[in-house]
Amino acid sequence: PAAVSWYDEFQRLYDTIPCVEVQVLKEHNDQVLHLSFSHSGCLFASCSKDCTVKIWSNELDISLQHSSNMRPYNWSYTQFSQFNSDDSLLLVSGVFVGPHNSSSGEIAVISMENFTLLSRVRNKPYDVFGCWLNETNLISGNLHRIGRITSCSVLWLNNAFQGIESENVNVVKRLFKIQNLNASTIRTVMVADCSRYDSPDLLLDYEEQLAASSTSTCPVFDLGSDSEEEETKPKQTPEPAVQELPDDGGVTAEDGLQQFFDDIMEGRVRPAMTETELETKVAELFVRNRTKPPELNLLPMDSNSKTKYLIFTTGCLTYSPHQIGIKRILPHQMTTAGPVLGEERRSDEFFDSLDHVIDIHGHIIGMGLSPDHRYLYVNSRAWPRDCVISDPMQPPPIAEEIDLHVFDLKTMKEVKRALRAHRAYTPNEECFFIFLDVSRDFVASGAEDRHGYIWDRHYNICLAKLQHDNVVNSVAFSPVEQELLLTASDDATIKVWRSPRAVRVQQARKPRPRKLLFSWLLNQNS
């Protein structure tokens, strides 16, 4: 939209893409899993299977500034990091040493002033990762089993300075409590700030957004459907897969549950249900009358709103994450002040419902926000079009081709066709997160095909493939210079990529050896 001419656009696409390898960092001795920049762009952090988090100085030549080994805290490896808004603290997420099927993790907070460990917070399951809500408070997860395939995810707000706070001040507070069906859990939490939605850096599909902005409800929609129509009836249940009870003249959920049990005992339920189906049905009926209704008006009303969205992966049909849940966080919820268990609840509000659910119809393996938090980019591996899930412990096979979806968080609609080029090969039970990142003009992602990829956000075209010797797990643009990109790989390296233009500028700054030699000879002759 800001292009002056096609020649300028060609020059931008040719000359400003960070596709020239300028440095390889080999300080890690195992797979590098994640990269994150500070907001100033002066530092970045890397996490690895070698159980260290390393802090790097982003100068002309990148250098290692500090390394923290987390093995003394019984960690198996570090997996994710994030700087807080003023870059004074670093959140580091890791996995505990334990049995193969252990799902426990921990979050550590490190001071950037002297690299000391300030606090540690339990995090379960570990792939919740955790994230900052504001400068001093972070979000973690916990998981409580209710049945074999039914559980409850609790999201907690934690103060980063737990060790030094007064005993009279709360350092934790429960944010939300959400029921999980069919072995699903909440994972991969992130926070989106709504305040810039009316002045985004880049606007995609503007006409469609204008037409959609008049819609007052936020329905669930399914990307696996061929239909362009969406249900306009607001959902009152936390999971879209829950079917409505038949209308029996105002029968309550409790009456329906009792009737269901009576039908089972008297043999009126046909065909017979499996134990798994029975547990799911009972959980659905129970939660119907024990859930706080969702916020009906999810869309932010003005650009001055201090509301934030909590975004996470979830599901309703199987354990593999196939839905994106969105829950509004109001200003009074953004502090640990008040009761530890959060707002008072009525007896019929045991669970919180989701304000919005997006069904991806596939296994979600990555999410990232645009710099202005207006757009959500999602990596997923699609399920077969007409697949039926009869056993939540056996999800459908997933495609090798990765789809990169784009959603407008103001209208809650998909606004671009899926970007494609990158691939993944691991099956459902071994599938892992592939981190992506978004700059003003570009979006980048890792892949299992030993390459990182860069697309243009304006034209949806793949611009570059960045080679490694193994799986590329994470990518990160500098927040102040999108012509600098980092890629992290299972080959235990971090590669630094700059645009052709940036390389020319960098070379121009360096003194030329021939001129130095000529000056030295002149001095010798004199």
pLDDT at residue 223 in the model: 42
CA 126 vs CA 27, 103, 189, 337, 360: distances in Å: 25, 6, 11, 26, 22
| Structure tokens that stand for 306 in this block | 């201090």
Closest to 157 in 3D by CA, of 371, 327, 373, 347: 327
CA 81 vs CA 20, 23, 87, 107, 238: distances in Å: 26, 22, 12, 9, 29
Rounded-to-integer distance, Cα 397 and Cα 375, Å: 28
pLDDT at residue 230 in the model: 36
Q: Give buried/exposed letters for 44-73 (b at 16+ CB in 10 A, else e).
A: bbbbbbbbbbbbbebeeebeeebbbebeee
Helix (H, G, I), strand (E, B) or coil at 201: coil
* Other Cβ atoms within 10 Å of 425 Cβ, number: 12
CA dihedral 242, 247, 253, 254 (to 10 degrees): -140
Tens-digit pLDDT profile for residues 381-438? 999 998 999 899 999 999 999 999 999 999 899 987 788 888 888 877 777 899 999 9
Q: Give buried/exposed letters for 25-38 (b at 16+ CB in 10 A, else e).
A: bebbeebbbbbbbb
Closest to 281 in 3D by CA, of 301, 256, 255, 304: 256
pLDDT at residue 262 in the model: 64
Strands 362-369 and 375-382: antiparallel
**Which amino acid type is present at position 295?**
E
Tens-digit pLDDT profile for residues 319-348? 999 999 999 998 888 888 776 776 666 665
Tens-digit pLDDT profile for residues 214-264? 433 333 444 444 333 333 333 333 333 333 333 444 445 556 656 666 665
Domains and CATH numbers, the chain: 26-204+289-294+302-509 (2.130.10.10)
Percent of all residues in the chain with a pLDDT value above 90, rounded to a whole number? 56
CA dihedral 466, 469, 474, 480 (to 10 degrees): -40
Residue 485 pairs in a beta bridge with 477, 497
Closest to 324 in 3D by CA, of 186, 140, 125, 473: 186
Average pLDDT per 10 consecutive residues for the chain, totaling 526 residues: 79 93 97 98 98 95 96 96 97 85 87 95 95 96 92 95 63 92 95 83 59 39 39 35 38 58 60 71 72 63 71 95 95 80 66 93 95 94 91 92 93 85 82 92 95 93 95 97 97 97 86 58 63
Residue recorded with tokens 């999602």? 378
pLDDT at residue 267 in the model: 62
pLDDT at residue 204 in the model: 77
* Other Cβ atoms within 10 Å of 395 Cβ, number: 25
pLDDT at residue 103 in the model: 75
Helix (H, G, I), strand (E, B) or coil at 46: strand
Rounded-to-integer distance, Cα 509 and Cα 483, Å: 17
